[in-house]
């Protein structure tokens, strides 16, 4: 059984006398060895780190492989926490209300062919956004349970890290397609908004809340374009199936993390991997 004092004893071994340190609560289990990562700092400045296991016999190659898995674990968990939580908390009331309103328009108002097609586009867009959000919420709730099951030891196997990557990739897919749909639907909702104010019978079905939500769907196209650009790291995502998309972003993330690891390894006081 691993003793906490032993973990801190090794971490302190590589600490300079004027530094403070902390040990990440995540533990990677690789080849039946538990790996830990200690961070050193002076005031608020990071000054280095140590990556170690208490079990004997780890080769340099094993340390390097374990470190690469460990950084994937930390980066992916951080991404899920930041992006997944942010998107889970998006207020979808506007999409629900607009979807209900457009369905009512479709049912109760006599529309021209062009008006009908616009309304259907609006219904499809809001339905798609709500469907993606439902999938995201379920994904995050399942992930919350996964994390809870890891308490209190926070030990992760390679299979666990692979699952975490799958969750992160799924969130990336949902985020991309939500923002892309929001961006591409702005023009449609601007046309719908124009029709609403021309047709008295449609305007009569609206209340103040619907007016506000419709206007929100017509705004911020340039901001959405910039957001879409910022979250796009791989070219040609529009043309990919979901499976192809996830494979592409997975390869890209791992590639970028491996490049980042080169500088991270230089910061390690133990072991010397670079």
Per-residue model confidence as pLDDT tens digits over 152-185: 999 999 999 999 999 999 999 999 999 999 999 9
Q: Is residue 64 assigned to a domain?
A: no
Tell whether 152 is covered by a domain: yes
Cα separation of 207 and 266, whole Å?
Answer: 61
Residue 28: strand, helix, or coil = strand
| Same structural domain, 52 and 83 | no
Q: Is the pTM of this model over 0.85?
A: yes
Q: What is the dihedral of CA 133, 173, 253, 76, to 10 degrees?
A: 20
Dmax over Cα atoms in the chain, in whole Å?
79
Domain that holds residue 173: 72-265
**Overall average pLDDT of the 21-49 stretch:** 95
Report the residue count for the chain. 274
Question: How confident is residue 272, by pLDDT bands cut at 50, 70 and 90?
Answer: confident
Residue 122 banded pLDDT, cuts 50, 70, 90: very high
Q: Does residue 187 share a domain with residue 92?
A: yes
Is 66 part of any domain? no
Q: State the total domains in the chain.
A: 2
pLDDT in tens, 72-117: 999 999 999 999 999 999 999 999 999 999 999 999 999 999 999 9
Q: Which pLDDT score, from 0 to 100, does residue 12 have?
A: 95
DSSP character string of 37-89 = EEEEEETTEEEEEEEEESSS---HHHHHHHHHHHHHHHHHHHHIIIIIHHHHT
Using CA atoms, how far apart are residues 120 and 31, in angstroms rounded to an integer?
Answer: 55
Tell whether 65 is covered by a domain.
no
Within this chain, do residues 146 and 202 fall inside the same structural domain, yes or no? yes
Residues 46 and 79 grouped into a single domain: no
Residues 103 and 14 in one domain: no
Q: 119 and 193 share a domain?
A: yes
Residues 13 and 129 in one domain: no
**Are residues 177 and 238 both part of a single domain?**
yes
Residues 77 and 20 in one domain: no
Q: 46 CB contacts (<8 Å, ≥6 apart)?
A: 39, 40, 267
Q: Is there a single domain that holds both residue 116 and residue 158?
A: yes
Q: Which of 27-36, 60-69, 261-270 has the lowest mean pLDDT?
A: 261-270
Shared domain for 128 and 170, answered yes or no, is: yes
Q: Residues 137, 83: one domain? A: yes
């Amino acid at each position: 059984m691993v003793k906490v004092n032993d973990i801190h004893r090794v971490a302190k071994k590589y600490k300079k006398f004027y530094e403070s340190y902390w040990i990440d609560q995540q533990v990677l289990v690789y080849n039946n060895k538990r790996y830990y990562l200690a961070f050193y700092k002076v005031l608020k400045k990071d000054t280095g780190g140590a990556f170690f296991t208490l079990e004997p016999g780890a080769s340099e190659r094993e340390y390097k492989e374990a470190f690469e898995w460990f950084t994937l674990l930390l980066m992916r968990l951080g991404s899920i926490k930041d992006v997944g939580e942010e998107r889970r908390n998006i207020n979808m009331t506007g999409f629900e209300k607009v979807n209900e309103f457009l369905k009512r328009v479709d049912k109760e108002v006599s529309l021209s062919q062009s008006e009908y097609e616009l309304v259907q586009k609006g219904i499809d867009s809001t339905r798609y956004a709500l469907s993606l959000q439902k999938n995201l919420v379920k994904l995050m709730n399942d992930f919350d349970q996964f994390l809870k099951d890891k308490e209190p030891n926070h030990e992760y196997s390679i299979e666990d890290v692979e699952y975490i990557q799958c969750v992160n990739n799924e969130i990336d897919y949902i985020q991309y397609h939500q923002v892309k749909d929001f961006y591409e639907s702005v023009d449609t909702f601007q046309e719908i908004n124009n029709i609403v104010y021309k047709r008295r019978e449609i305007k009569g079905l609206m209340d103040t809340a619907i007016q506000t939500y419709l206007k929100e769907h017509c705004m911020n196209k340039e901001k959405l374009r910039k957001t879409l650009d910022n979250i796009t790291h791989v070219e040609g995502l529009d043309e990919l199936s979901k499976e192809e998309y996830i494979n592409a972003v997975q390869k890209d993330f791992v590639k970028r993390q491996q490049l980042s690891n080169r500088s991270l390894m230089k910061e390690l006081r133990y072991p010397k991997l670079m």
